[in-house]
Amino acid sequence: MKESVKTFLAQAAKSRGLWLCIGIAAALLALHELALAWMEKSRAVEAFMSGSFANVFQAAQILAFVLLRAATFFLLPGIILYGLLSAALSGMRKKEVD
Amino acid sequence: MAGIGLAMTKAGGKPLLQIAACAALLLLGASFIPSLWCSREAGAAFEDSLKIQEPVQKGVEEWLSRGISAKDYDTGFSQFDGEWLFGTYFMAGMGFVQMAELHPELKARNIPLAERCIEGILSKETRAFDLQSWGSDPIESLDSDASSHIAYLGYLNLLLGMDRRLNQSTKFAPLNDKISAALARRYERSPTLLLETYPGETYPVDNCAGISSLKLFDVATGANHSALLARWKESCEKRWIDKRTGLLVQSVSPDGEPFDKPRGSGSTLGLYFLSFSDLELAKKLYAAVKKELASSVLGFGGVREYPRGMAGRMDIDSGPIIFGYGFSATGFSLAGAKLFGDEAYFKKLYATAYFAGAPCDSGGTRSFATGGPLGGAILFATLTAKGGSAR
């Protein structure tokens, strides 16, 4: 068991798919954290919460934040799962070739 | 899974198969992981864990110590900015008292904080929005019945009653006596048993706060408004609770007849207020909210602003409405779910509040990025609403 985990990790480290997924996930997370820090200081949210969209620019900022947060929360798990599967598959392919 | 893997291996990473696998995994990941993550603290929050509630309190304390004013709000309307300042102090004050009741070790710390909120509500700046609408000051005009000021006075008196329940020797007892006397007198003189929020505008939800404040006053002082409360309840059930949905109508005409639709924001906030005077009526409202407005998608709970089949616009009461689900109705429902022991739905609502509120934690303090001071104070009050045996 221990051995196969080690082998998997060694093969996963060589998987371009996994690294790509990790890169995308990290970029998404970093962008989300930046947006969160900006949103904490922004006053755009008050116009949004009041139910009025009088200021289109503020509404657009809120919409962008909501989309980014939704993307982070809903896509991130799938991206990581896909990266792991991709690593596992590349390992299986390598075994078959060997 | 191994079979799929082998098929993909043999397919040699054919693009179509890769796309299908990618889509399946994205869907799988999106369908349960986000809600599990967002509701991971919900069980502890439902059980009133100090570990969850204290950082939220500290976030509200931070706003208070920094000092807030109407200028801190940017709704685009000075009237709403004033209402939000008032609402922030009110909800924060309710939260501080509820926290002290849930965690008695915090009593000494929270009484001054609740009193600070009351002082904030009593400040000239906060009173300005009500004065502007009525042309008379809500406190200075207590001896006259020419204007009713039910939102300002009802909410304030509810907080004063809570403060008095926590601290019998509160310095605000004389003010609680005076406002309660004025409200009782005004209700007795009102042919509809409803008082106006602003001239020509009557909202049952604001009256729920006013009438519940009289019950708290009775409990604290031994006064007896039970006959008035019973008549009010009868009227409420007969006239202001919608027959079809069982929800509270949002506004009524001067003769006490429904003027607006039954709505989520009014019903969910109204049941929270009524829980201080009439748990049975509050429970009926919660049951109607669950039946007519509540649903959940992918583990996230949401409460509609308008019942299914009814259309309506978003406004200052509803907050933003997305796919029919209202921000205010969903946030206020946390209190209802907690009050009536609905743990399963509380967890779903908590997941939504976590996702939409975007909490930011730092140094044991939690603030909500999309909530601002008012959103933080509302979540503080609803998350500390006392349910079951704690009540």
State pLDDT tens for residues A5-14. 777 777 777 7
CA-based torsion, B116, B106, B389, B375: positive or negative: positive
Question: Which residue has 């390992």 as its token pair?
Answer: A91
* Set of chain B residues whose Cβ sits within 8 Å of the Cβ of A65: 370
Looking at the partner chain, which of B29, B316, B358 has a beta carbon nearest the beta carbon of A78? B29
Using CA atoms, how far apart are residues B355 and B39, in angstroms rounded to an integer? 9
Evaluate whether B343 touches B46 at the Cβ level (below 8 Å).
yes
Structure token pair of residue A33: 């954290």
Q: How confident is the model at residue A52 (pLDDT cuts 50, 70, 90)?
A: low
Residues of B in contact with A79 (CB under 8 A): 26, 29
Interface contact flag, B33 A89, Cβ < 8 Å: no
User: What is the reported pTM?
Assistant: 0.89
Q: Specify whether the CB–CB gap between B153 and B182 falls below 8 A.
A: yes
Which residues 6+ apart lie within 8 Å of B176 measured at CB?
A: B157, B160, B161, B163, B164, B170, B217, B220
Residue B2 is predicted with a pLDDT of 41
**pLDDT by residue (tens digit) across B226-241?**
999 999 999 999 999 9
Could you give the C-alpha distances from B281 to B56, B155, B205, B237, B247, in angstroms and in order?
29, 19, 13, 8, 11
**Predicted confidence band of residue B332 (pLDDT cuts 50, 70, 90):** very high
What are the φ/ψ torsions at residue B321 (nearest 5 degrees)? -115, 125
pLDDT at A60 over 70: yes
Quick one: average pLDDT of B164-184? 96
Instruction: Please check the confidence at residue B147 and state whether its pLDDT lies above 60.
Output: yes
- CB hemisphere CA count around A17 (13 angstroms): 18
pLDDT: which is higher, B359 or B80: B359
The predicted model gives B262-281 an average pLDDT of 96
Q: Does the beta-carbon distance from B74 to A46 stay under 8 Å?
A: yes
Res B316 pLDDT > 90: no
| Residue located via tokens 């603290």 | B41
Predicted confidence (pLDDT) at residue B171 exceeds the cutoff of 70: yes
Contact A92 B75 (CB under 8 A): no
d(CA B238, CA B232): 10
The answer to whether the Cβ–Cβ distance between A40 and B26 falls below 8 Å is: no
What local confidence, expressed as pLDDT, does residue B3 receive?
Answer: 41
- Identify the residue with better confidence: B128 or B30: B128
Q: Give the pairing of strands B294-297 and B300-303.
A: antiparallel
Put simply, the answer to whether A80 touches B29 (Cβ < 8 Å) is yes
pLDDT the model gives residue A48: 66
Tell me the nearest-neighbour CA distance from B326 into chain A, angstroms. Answer: 10
User: CA-CA distance, A9 to A3, in Å (whole number)?
Assistant: 10
Residue B293 banded pLDDT, cuts 50, 70, 90 = very high
CA B254 to CA B274: how far, in whole Å?
Answer: 22
> Given this model, what pLDDT does residue A50 score?
62
Q: Does A89 touch chain B (CB under 8 A)?
A: yes
Mean pLDDT of B34-38: 93
Least confident of B217-221, B228-232, B251-255: B251-255
The answer to whether A89 contacts B5, with C-beta atoms less than 8 Å apart, is: yes
B window 354-383, beta carbon within 8 A of A: 355, 358, 360, 367, 369-372, 374-375
Please tell me the distance from the alpha carbon of residue B44 to that of residue B291, in angstroms, as a whole number: 26
Residue B388: left (phi > 0), alpha (psi -120 to 50), or beta?
Answer: left
Give which of B122, B123, B130, B120 is closest to B82, Cα–Cα: B130
Q: List the structure tokens of B287.
A: 């049951």
Comparing A47-56, A87-96, B21-30, B335-344, which segment has the lowest mean pLDDT? Answer: A47-56
What is the structure's pLDDT at B340? 95
Which residue among A46, A78, A79 sits closest to B75, beta carbon to beta carbon?
Answer: A46
Q: pLDDT-based confidence at B341, cuts 50/70/90? A: very high
Please indicate whether, in this complex, the C-beta atoms of A51 and B316 are within 8 angstroms of each other: yes
